Amino acid sequence: MNSSLSTISNWQEAVFVAAANIFTQFFNFLPSLFGALLIFVLGLILAKWAKAIIVKVLSAVKLDKVLRKIGLEPFLSQADIKLKSEVIIGEIARWLIIIVFFIAGVNVLGLTTIGSVLASVLSYVPTIVSAILILTIGVLLAGLIESLIKGT
Q: Residues 102-117: pLDDT tens digits?
A: 999 999 988 888 888 8
**With contact defined as beta carbons under 8 Å apart, do 41 and 97 qualify?**
no
**Res 97: pLDDT:** 94
Mean of the pLDDT values across residues 10-15? 76
pLDDT at 62 over 90: no
pLDDT score recorded for residue 51: 95
Percent of the chain with pLDDT over 90: 25
In whole angstroms, give the CA distance from residue 64 to residue 76: 11
Residue 152 has pLDDT above 80, yes or no: no
Q: What is the pTM of this model?
A: 0.71
Closest-CA residue to 108 (of 38, 25, 35, 42): 35
Task: Tell me the domain boundaries of the chain.
Answer: 2-151
Asked whether 40 and 105 are in contact (CB, 8 A), the reply is yes
Q: Are 121 and 96 in contact (CB under 8 A)?
A: no
Answer whether 43's CB lies under 8 Å from 95's CB: no
Check pLDDT > 60 for residue 75.
Answer: yes
Q: Are 46 and 97 in contact (CB under 8 A)?
A: yes
Report H helices in the chain: 2-60, 63-70, 72-78, 85-108, 112-122, 125-151
